[in-house]
Structure 1
Amino acid sequence: MQAAEIADFEKQWEQWEDAAEEQVQGVFRKLDRVAENNQWKVIRAFQKHRVSDFHFATSTGYGYNDSGREVLDLVYADVFGAEAAIVRPHLVSGTHTISAALFGCLRPGDELLFVTGRPYDTLHKVIGKPGDGLGSLADWGVTTKIVPLLQDGSVDWDGVAAATSERTKVFAIQRSRGYDWRPSFTIEQIAAMASRLKELKSDAIVFADNCYGEFTEEKEPTEVGVDLIAGSLIKNPGGGLAASGGYIAGRQRLVELAAYRMTAPGIGGEVGAMLGTTRSIYQGLFLAPLLVGQAVKGSVFASAIFAKLGFETHPRWDDPRTDLIQAIKFAGAEPLIHFVQAIQKAAAVDAHVVPEPWDMPGYEHPVIMAAGTFIQGGSLELSADAPVREPYIAYMQGGLTYAHVKFAVKMALQELRIRGFL
């Protein structure tokens, strides 16, 4: 850009910024209230279990009698309205955590039924194919059925009823949109799903993948009838501080079974040295409601400003929010790639790196990812990714501060202007 072009863009940016922020003020007030109520809920859980600085001490070896680890589980259980929880840095990702939960609940001959359509790409290898030799669910004799959503993004209840059988052991809900152009499911919708699934088969387990959804609303799935949830600490509940880990929360027996899968039968959650991670996990949880609120504000702002400029966004700025993810649709692969690269340029870490599409393990199409984060893969931090396939949708999420998201939106619009797409 020449100096005159830069000056013109800056003037336009100020106009877009002011108009978008004026438009979304009412939404921001509601988001602030959600963050406050969730913050108070977390503080009360800390107080109830008398969290003290000695709970932050490290443990080694087997980690026997690690009171910090034990109290952390109790705090998480209270925050998520669950009977029990297990929170560990040894769970390496959301996929690993979900896998532990599902393998804990399912046995050979059982059936897993996804009621919210095709799950996130990285779970496909966990589901697997019979005889694949990978130790997948299918390899262990667990059948998986997937009921696609209806055109409007709602559950196909006739299809779910037809797919349910005597072998159906677990109904699975994916709260977030994943790589789909559909609304993420609100807590109110998940409550209705859980109730209806229990009516359909009362002895089945209702499981929800809670990734990206924690603290975006004032309740969690385990508070409205879901039996078991799982999520990643490098997403919402880690508060940008947890360096690794995952959590599983829900009914006592189901959490215990998941813990046996995480470690070994008879061991479960009774051991596991925390290796100096305890303080950051506690403090991350404390900060999570505020930081999730900042990230959601950033998504609302991005949706408003891109929509004003003629882009299709999902959710729209005034739609209910139940996760961090903001989807933006582009006209082709080139503007999509430039958008993601601009998000990387806006990072504080690795801003000089230029991401390119690549065949990422666990994904079925080339994926481009912007991930200039302090915690590798930390999705509460500002990031963006997109499978390079039609209909060319970029998924932006996170942002530890609202100001950072605004900066990234500005960088992206400037890049699109330079490249002739705006």
Structure 2
Amino acid sequence: MFTDRVLRLMEQAEQKIEEKLKDIDRVVDRNQWKVIRAFQKHKVSDYHFAASTGYGYNDRGREVLDLVYADVFGAEAALVRPHFVSGTHTIGTALFGVLRPGDELLMITGRPYDTLHKVIGKPGDGNGSLQDWGISYGEVGLLEDGSPDYAEIARRIGPSTKVVGIQRSRGYAWRPSFTVSRIAEMVRFVKEIRPDIIVFVDNCYGEFTELTEPTEVGADLIAGSLIKNPGGALAETGGYIAGKAKYVELASYRLTAPGIGGEVGAMLGTTRSIYQGLFLAPHLVGQAVKGSVFAAAVFEQLGFTTSPHWSDPRTDLIQAIQFTGAEHLIAFVQGIQQAAAVDAHVVPEPWDMPGYEHPVIMAAGTFIQGGSLELSADAPIREPYIAYMQGGLTYSHCKMGVLTAIQNMIDRGLLA
């Protein structure tokens, strides 16, 4: 399957990262225990897994699921639903829930992920975007080293600033993802200027990679997708919002309708998989993080620039690898697809994907469509040609994906 050269790369990388993998296991243990304790506190039983239909009145499984999530994330309340169709939908619901015409959303971690651009929109665009509803938008770029520009943040916060937004993960940007300790620093800074500002964190890709979550260090509201980390590869769709109870309630009114909120909503047989996925999530996230560390170590040995470095602290699933041209990038992504258990025969090609500003190539041989806790990779076809790898339900699969991608590049004559 692999040449001796590729296998030697694997052996050298694994020797180098041995202690790092043990550190990841320690994080997995603590997060696993935290999840189990939340289940035990709320006396989760098999009757909580029963399906509901229609309005979903008195669905105790749904109600307890919200309580479990709130405890796991150190929040006052949570809203966990299969009715969220994506992370972008979940984030949009949270923002529309707490913002009103005349308010400002200020992102302090630079330009957000591409799919959120349409949610923010433009004044008068007619699409029902935030700006179309008279909610102004501003953003503060990061400093050259990827850290927040606190002087500019202080200057930009004004009387109409209602929500300060933080994107934890890098998105399609060559910058470090923000650790929970760095998010805590940002929260403290903003609250010293205006204690009433709502600090919102896009938590996608970050759950269970560290021992704490943003809501445990002062963030007022967070949101994420169930087909990423917390769904544990079993949740078939959905998202979650967690934070201060009053803000979660406002978000629930946006999901359903004012006065209805989170008190209704048939779960349609999804409850058990969401519970079980949460139970598995700490372990599976650990497997994926190990895969990212391995990928960084191997590609650094080959002379490529990676972010984060294999030894850097991890706060999300994303491993960015910078290539020297589009050919290398495409060969890498296609190699990841070749290693999939599902759709390995499919050859991904760049295409104009809705919500993105450049052609994007995506490898996603997953059991859950778009499930990025599973091994996947994607990249916009633009300079400086960076591929973003994430996920992997088993460390073994992560290794196979990385090695297949390297073998693919060698076979095409792209690696000397």
Superposition map of 1:249-398 within 5 A = 249-398=242-391
Which of the residues 407, 410, 416 maps onto 1:414? 407
- What is the CA–CA distance in structure 2 between the aligned matches of 1:223 and 1:408, rounded to whole Å? 34
Q: Deviations over 1:24-51 (max 9, x none)?
A: 0111111000000000000000000000
Give yes or no for the alignment of 1:47 onto 2:40.
yes
- What is the CA–CA distance in structure 2 between the aligned matches of 1:271 and 1:42, rounded to whole Å? 25
**AA matched with 1:363:** Y
**AA matched with 2:39:** F
Q: Deviations over 1:307-327 (max 9, x none)?
A: 011111110100000000000
Q: State the shift of 1:10 in Å.
A: 2.1
Which of the residues 208, 217, 221 maps onto 2:214? 221
Which of the residues 52, 56, 59 maps onto 1:63? 56
Q: State the shift of 1:14 in Å.
A: 2.2
- What is the CA–CA distance in structure 2 between the aligned matches of 1:214 and 1:91, rounded to whole Å? 17
List structure 1 segments (4+ residues) > 6 angstroms apart after TM superposition. Answer: none
Q: Over the residues paired in the alignment, what is the CA RMSD in angstroms?
A: 0.7
Which of the residues 97, 112, 125 maps onto 1:132? 125
Q: State the shift of 1:284 in Å.
A: 0.1
Q: Match of 2:17, SS?
A: helix
Q: Match of 1:196, SS?
A: helix
Q: Deviations over 1:229-274 (max 9, x none)?
A: 0000000000000000000000000000000001111110000000
- What is the CA–CA distance in structure 1 between the aligned matches of 2:406 and 2:330, rounded to whole Å? 13
- What is the CA–CA distance in structure 2 between the aligned matches of 1:409 and 1:192, rounded to whole Å? 35
**AA matched with 1:64:** Y
Partner of 1:188: 181
- What is the CA–CA distance in structure 2 between the aligned matches of 1:13 and 1:353, rounded to whole Å? 23
- What is the CA–CA distance in structure 1 between the aligned matches of 2:18 and 2:255, rounded to whole Å? 44
- What is the CA–CA distance in structure 2 between the aligned matches of 1:350 and 1:18, rounded to whole Å? 28
Q: State the shift of 1:419 in Å.
A: 1.1
Identity %: 73
Give yes or no for the alignment of 1:77 onto 2:70.
yes
Q: Match of 1:412, SS?
A: helix
- What is the CA–CA distance in structure 2 between the aligned matches of 1:411 and 1:234, rounded to whole Å? 25
Q: Deviations over 1:91-131 (max 9, x none)?
A: 00000000000000100000000000000000000000011
Once structures 1 and 2 are overlaid, which stretch shifts more, 64-73 or 335-344? 335-344
- What is the CA–CA distance in structure 2 between the aligned matches of 1:140 and 1:62, rounded to whole Å? 30
**AA matched with 2:263:** E
**AA matched with 1:356:** E
Partner of 2:11: 18
Give yes or no for the alignment of 1:175 onto 2:183.
no
Q: Match of 1:414, SS?
A: helix
Which of the residues 90, 98, 113 maps onto 2:106? 113
- Which segments of 5 or more consecutive residues in structure 1 lack a partner in the other structure? 1-5
Q: State the shift of 1:205 in Å.
A: 0.2
- Which segments of 5 or more consecutive residues in structure 2 lack a partner in the other structure? none
Partner of 1:93: 86
Q: Match of 2:166, SS?
A: strand
- What is the CA–CA distance in structure 1 between the aligned matches of 2:382 and 2:234, rounded to whole Å? 33
Q: State the shift of 1:11 in Å.
A: 1.4
Q: State the shift of 1:13 in Å.
A: 2.0
- What is the CA–CA distance in structure 1 between the aligned matches of 2:81 and 2:409, rounded to whole Å? 41
Q: State the shift of 1:15 in Å.
A: 1.4
Q: Deviations over 1:140-182 (max 9, x none)?
A: 0000101110100000111111111100000000000000011
- What is the CA–CA distance in structure 1 between the aligned matches of 2:87 and 2:343, rounded to whole Å? 24
- What is the CA–CA distance in structure 1 between the aligned matches of 2:335 and 2:3, rounded to whole Å? 17
Q: State the shift of 1:201 in Å.
A: 1.2
Q: Match of 1:139, SS?
A: helix
- What is the CA–CA distance in structure 2 between the aligned matches of 1:388 and 1:12, rounded to whole Å? 29
**AA matched with 2:114:** D
Partner of 2:159: 166
**AA matched with 1:169:** K
Q: Deviations over 1:182-223 (max 9, x none)?
A: 100001100111011101111100000000000000000000
**AA matched with 1:217:** E
Partner of 1:231: 224
- What is the CA–CA distance in structure 1 between the aligned matches of 2:93 and 2:219, rounded to whole Å? 17
Count of aligned pairs between the two proteins: 415
Partner of 1:3: none
Tell me the TM-score normalized by structure 2. Answer: 0.99
Partner of 1:102: 95
Checking the alignment, whether the CA contact within 8 Å between 2:3 and 2:407 is kept in structure 1 is: no
Q: Deviations over 1:362-401 (max 9, x none)?
A: 0000000001100000000000000000000000000000
- What is the CA–CA distance in structure 2 between the aligned matches of 1:137 and 1:77, rounded to whole Å? 27
- What is the CA–CA distance in structure 1 between the aligned matches of 2:314 and 2:30, rounded to whole Å? 16
- What is the CA–CA distance in structure 1 between the aligned matches of 2:368 and 2:207, rounded to whole Å? 18
Tell me the TM-score normalized by structure 1. Answer: 0.98
